[in-house]
Structure 1
């Protein structure tokens, strides 16, 4: 396999316009649909009818939140920290918590940040689709009882098509989102023309004055303001798909200006007399064009939801290969891109939660109360990890790194504290989901480490094992046996068990340990390391990154060119099937953890499927392991 370079190397300049257009559909769907509900949520949180100072203050806070969080923090800082071209909180955690230096604390908070994304990811499709469809009530209030059923039908269809892949319709995502952003900009300009004074909100003093003069209510409104940047994490997480340049250009040239224009237009029509308690976004639209706008908004929210689902699939695969989630069945839905995958368990869990939230909360205003708390905590964690990156990767002195990190931490901390008030209003939903995902990660990893440690106990040195084979007259049968093992040295327990019970051993032996590294890609020259430890007895270490899919037959085929000829038609793969029990000596894992890990192991995809082994050449050996 050829070495795969960083995302920047995969993004030639001549394709930059096409990549920017594609990024509009994949990266900016979530943050690009936030104007549907953000400004009306902010004004709905004000204790009294908003006057000019409140409206301009709220707009100023939105503009500068978009600038500081997205443009400064993510575009200018976070995207400069990549793990061999890949971004996102799991890639950052792997870089700082494992690759650079092994730190349990960094790994723990990084994993919890990833788990939080699952929590808010279930809310995004529900609030986006509901907010788009609610525009129909402006045309005729009689459709109100049909909003929720229609939203549920759209979401069910969206989740149902995931197993078929989205490669074909994905080509239309970019153009649709381009039309969406241009439409928002034109609507915003039309609103600004009605009340040009909103341009004054570019002055940050309006936002600061509002925060400082309205006490606790001014601070709590930050929970609504934060909705304008939900989805900003996607700019960093999707960096590996497009590279830094297309994402930065798309944000600075299209998305950021269009969002500011639309938010300013919404503020302008409220200043001009539009009711602040209505759907402000749709109030910008001329009545004859309202139905086409609702259709376009619905398409945009479906694209935003698709991006969230695809992101959840990708993050799940990363966590599996890093050893933090059980092996799940992953289906490649297209040969056009590695990111086109389908994870059935994740899809149906997200569908169940999203549909439940849609029915339970019924209105986008109600969902807004639960939205943002998990993302704000994820952003707070990202800022903490950025401080470590500034010190260790960029080599900044403590004062410089501390000053910049403190600036981000104070802002993120303020948004998180303001969002804490949402816990009792529904914010507990994403938090509970995050805790559940984190618990699965933690228990799975502890169990896997315990199994590996037990496998390393009481190993027989290979010279001793081979001498015993010869002394006992164990026959050597034709063919090659490939033993999959967790051990790093000596005789694999599977091989010893096989000889003890079957009283025979193949002529050629290939012991293979598969290792997942905290990097996204592994170069072809570093894919496998093979050493001959005895005549016709090889031991190999196969290495894969967290963005790769293990394929052992292809790996063995490639190793033939290095002199380790393996006839794939005459290979038998031996894999273990462990029966897990608690230890009798009082050591090991607590009983409840053993029980939960056993359930996870029993429902995980079989290792032979995970490693792409041909089923008719696999022999499964059952063993009892005490952990």
Structure 2
């Protein structure tokens, strides 16, 4: 809350409305500060913009070029294995090729192009994409979060607000109300978010395996001396190199990979066009969807089962959305429409033309259809492209891990921001190497692409289906889309995705269990962490220090004030945490200035730096105790290499003290009156600022809770296992919270506390 120019903002008693008032109307009146730091929740109105960040065209074109190397490697290398995965039993009717080509074409048009490029990308959260971005948008509009950390002040963050339409409010309000009132729905949304996140991470494991194995396996066309073991171990070596270079960041990797993928798309479209003209140009008939109907009539159940192969033509599509934070909406739209879409469509059409004359080559369609002189150049580029294909889901995995970590749904890991030029480009070392070991295990264990393909299809379709579910909620509640358009979306896109989902689930026992098992492990880890995270917050909320208790502590004559400034970290947003009372009981001394800091993640991608710190004074005023909520978005860097966290906090505290003088005195002098009172206020501010400076000079101490979490004696067996064993195992083996802010060890003081949950 600040005074700016001639206007100030006055909060109404209910904290829900604000109105600008001129200075001359405030003379001699008390200002009422908007304050909800002791409230448990607040409404989220909004009139801002949650869409993609504005970037100049030069940068957009650079990012479009970069995105070719990062986003499209996966979907671009799908021609390596789609026809082989679809016609696993061989081609029985030549027109079946037209049916499959028609299915592939319309699948690419409906899902990657129509759904993702032109609809889902618009549901980004301030330029960030992925499952958590959709969940965050919903949480920001409706109070469906499971922790009561929402505050009225949060809605004043500039990019917190949502741009809402004026019509169709009743339907949106009804849906919003039902979501907010139903605890089961809140848990369901969180469960769906965690499931989607786990499946995207599963994509990050399976993509490298199938892409690299498919490309390296092409060497068999040149020589029969190469064994399956050689192909497997060569693939493992390539995978190790791929994950090792991730630490250099998306920016450098993107510029390195983009030219290679551009050459790959050039080869795909060129060879596709050559085969199309040479063998059978009549495959263009596949544009007629009647060939899809004929294909299903002829093959019935086998046609339905073959959808598990055709769905691989859109693998990596989720990367379009998950990686949008690394680029921009416009850059991805440009690169998809101008390069990726025409290239892969031409590749599939060319392979179909070749297969119309060579039905028996379907198991090795890609390499068999390459003209002889181009075999070795294409093989080399294919291997390089398969390496790059993995990059899309790996970088998408890093982004989604960062989002889930910030919202308390993932154990603490190190987030490295790899680019100073572009926001949102991150690297997660622990996850990177876990993915590497998982990829090596799957490649060595499965050895062929057939079972990996079955597993891959399940992961791909599950994520797409969950994205559609969230998107429908956003259409109704936030965009307020015409209900007829919503129904049309569900009927068209929903039907296609349901058919694919039913097909891939049929192959559950043929490798399809792998992503579900992997997702189950990740979901258990994420649920355990989030469950205890919520329980700890509610424990602190239930045991927070009351204002009366704080006055008793202040009145204690045995309490000694020592020079210095103490920063006391807590997760509690509302009130003084119980650890403070325990600290005073054991160490009856308080520093001359004490600041309780709560690190809070808002359901938005970024919080502007000048809106990040929210201070309030703890009464009585003589204590010189302050509360500070430090608000981050889920893609904000928690430590700035240029300016330390504690320096920024102290500077903001001084700004608050100056500002608070006007509000606490209630005097804004415009006519030369009340000069005495104003002068006294200025003197008090100067004294307090001097006290803060002396405290800093005497030394800044960081007090961090060293918590021990145990299940209460009344807890059941399941709760004891989750808290005493699962959570504490994760906690012992992961990064400590104070390391996230690079607090100097010499100025760190840990205060022990036991949470009985």
Q: TM-score range by the shorter chain?
A: over 0.9
Q: How far did 1:581 drift? A: 1.3
Assess if the C-alpha contact under 8 Å between 2:52 and 2:128 holds in 1: no
What is aligned with 2:124? 82
- Which segment is superposed worse, 499-508 or 529-538? 529-538
1:220 to 295, 302, 305: 305
Task: Please give the per-residue CA displacement for 1:140-160, whole angstroms capped at 9, x wherever unaligned.
Answer: 121234111100111112223
Structure 2 residue 691 is matched with structure 1 residue 590:
no
Structure 2 residue 705 is matched with structure 1 residue 621:
no
What is aligned with 1:29? 73
What is aligned with 1:170? 254
Q: How far did 1:101 drift? A: 3.6
CA distance in 2, matches of 1:241, 1:586: 44
What is aligned with 2:9? none
What is aligned with 1:539? 627
CA distance in 2, matches of 1:394, 1:10: 20
Assess if the C-alpha contact under 8 Å between 2:79 and 2:344 holds in 1: yes
What is aligned with 1:69? 111
Instruction: Identify if the C-alpha distance between structure 1 residues 588 and 532 changes in structure 2 by more than 3 Å, giving closer, same or farther.
Output: farther
2:220 to 137, 158, 162: 137
CA distance in 1, matches of 2:201, 2:582: 42
Q: How far did 1:274 drift? A: 5.7
CA distance in 2, matches of 1:113, 1:130: 26
Q: How far did 1:16 drift? A: 3.4
Correspondence 1:572-587 to 2 at 5 A? 572-586=701-715
Task: Please give the per-residue CA displacement for 1:270-290, whole angstroms capped at 9, x wherever unaligned.
Answer: 112263344211223222322
- TM-score, normalization by structure 2: 0.79
Q: How far did 1:32 drift? A: 0.8
Structure 2 residue 637 is matched with structure 1 residue 549:
yes
Structure 2 residue 511 is matched with structure 1 residue 426:
yes
CA distance in 2, matches of 1:340, 1:243: 12
What is aligned with 2:64? 20
- Which segment is superposed worse, 163-172 or 107-116? 163-172
Q: How far did 1:356 drift? A: 1.2
Aligned residues: 622
Assess if the C-alpha contact under 8 Å between 2:326 and 2:425 holds in 1: no
CA distance in 1, matches of 2:101, 2:416: 44
Assess if the C-alpha contact under 8 Å between 2:63 and 2:328 holds in 1: no
Q: How far did 1:251 drift? A: 1.1
CA distance in 2, matches of 1:459, 1:345: 35
Structure 2 residue 559 is matched with structure 1 residue 474:
yes
1:11 to 43, 55, 58: 55
What is aligned with 1:110? 193
Q: How far did 1:167 drift? A: 4.2
- Which segment is superposed worse, 273-282 or 175-184? 273-282
- Which segment is superposed worse, 280-289 or 313-322? 280-289
Correspondence 1:369-408 to 2 at 5 A? 369-408=454-493
Assess if the C-alpha contact under 8 Å between 1:98 and 1:107 holds in 2: no
Task: Please give the per-residue CA displacement for 1:310-330, whole angstroms capped at 9, x wherever unaligned.
Answer: 221221111100110111123
Instruction: Identify if the C-alpha distance between structure 1 residues 147 and 575 changes in structure 2 by more than 3 Å, giving closer, same or farther.
Output: same
CA distance in 2, matches of 1:333, 1:249: 24
Structure 2, gaps ≥5 residues long: 1-47, 145-185, 640-644, 658-688
Q: SS of 2:542's equivalent?
A: coil
2:267 to 175, 183, 194: 183
Q: How far did 1:588 drift? A: 11
Q: How far did 1:99 drift? A: 4.2
Q: How far did 1:372 drift? A: 1.0
Q: SS of 1:371's equivalent?
A: helix
CA distance in 1, matches of 2:254, 2:334: 20
CA distance in 2, matches of 1:589, 1:469: 42
Q: SS of 2:566's equivalent?
A: strand
CA distance in 2, matches of 1:302, 1:210: 34
2:576 to 491, 495, 502: 491
What is aligned with 1:152? 236
CA distance in 1, matches of 2:488, 2:335: 29
Q: SS of 2:409's equivalent?
A: coil
Q: SS of 1:248's equivalent?
A: helix
1:608 to 712, 734, 738: 738
- Which segment is superposed worse, 302-311 or 483-492? 483-492
Structure 2 residue 652 is matched with structure 1 residue 559:
yes
What is aligned with 2:290? 205
Assess if the C-alpha contact under 8 Å between 2:52 and 2:125 holds in 1: no
Assess if the C-alpha contact under 8 Å between 1:38 and 1:227 holds in 2: yes
CA distance in 2, matches of 1:483, 1:231: 44
Assess if the C-alpha contact under 8 Å between 1:387 and 1:402 holds in 2: no
Structure 1 stretches of 4+ moved >6 Å: 4-7
Assess if the C-alpha contact under 8 Å between 1:94 and 1:107 holds in 2: no
Q: How far did 1:382 drift? A: 1.2
- Which segment is superposed worse, 510-519 or 95-104? 95-104
Q: SS of 1:134's equivalent?
A: helix
CA distance in 1, matches of 2:510, 2:746: 54
CA distance in 2, matches of 1:464, 1:452: 20
Task: Please give the per-residue CA displacement for 1:374-410, whole angstroms capped at 9, x wherever unaligned.
Answer: 1101111111112111111221244431232232111
Instruction: Identify if the C-alpha distance between structure 1 residues 483 and 426 changes in structure 2 by more than 3 Å, giving closer, same or farther.
Output: same
Correspondence 1:243-258 to 2 at 5 A? 243-258=328-343
Q: Look at both structures and tell me which one has the larger radius of gyration over its CA atoms.
A: 2
- Which segment is superposed worse, 510-519 or 245-254? 245-254
Q: SS of 2:119's equivalent?
A: helix
Instruction: Identify if the C-alpha distance between structure 1 residues 259 and 603 changes in structure 2 by more than 3 Å, giving closer, same or farther.
Output: same
Assess if the C-alpha contact under 8 Å between 2:543 and 2:577 holds in 1: no
What is aligned with 1:260? 345
Task: Please give the per-residue CA displacement for 1:460-514, whole angstroms capped at 9, x wherever unaligned.
Answer: 3345334434433211000101111123344332322222112211010111111
CA distance in 2, matches of 1:85, 1:331: 19
CA distance in 2, matches of 1:523, 1:440: 31
Structure 2 residue 428 is matched with structure 1 residue 343:
yes
Q: How far did 1:257 drift? A: 0.6
Assess if the C-alpha contact under 8 Å between 2:326 and 2:422 holds in 1: no
CA distance in 2, matches of 1:149, 1:587: 48
Structure 2 residue 694 is matched with structure 1 residue 571:
no
1:192 to 260, 272, 276: 276
Assess if the C-alpha contact under 8 Å between 2:573 and 2:600 holds in 1: no
Q: SS of 2:596's equivalent?
A: strand
- TM-score, normalization by structure 1: 0.94
Q: How far did 1:227 drift? A: 0.2
Structure 2 residue 439 is matched with structure 1 residue 439:
no
Structure 2 residue 545 is matched with structure 1 residue 460:
yes
Q: What is the aligned-residue RMSD (CA, Å)?
A: 2.2
Instruction: Identify if the C-alpha distance between structure 1 residues 463 and 173 changes in structure 2 by more than 3 Å, giving closer, same or farther.
Output: same
Q: SS of 2:703's equivalent?
A: strand
Instruction: Identify if the C-alpha distance between structure 1 residues 5 and 618 changes in structure 2 by more than 3 Å, giving closer, same or farther.
Output: farther
Assess if the C-alpha contact under 8 Å between 1:575 and 1:619 holds in 2: yes
Task: Please give the per-residue CA displacement for 1:129-178, whole angstroms capped at 9, x wherever unaligned.
Answer: 11111111111121234111100111112223334546434312212111
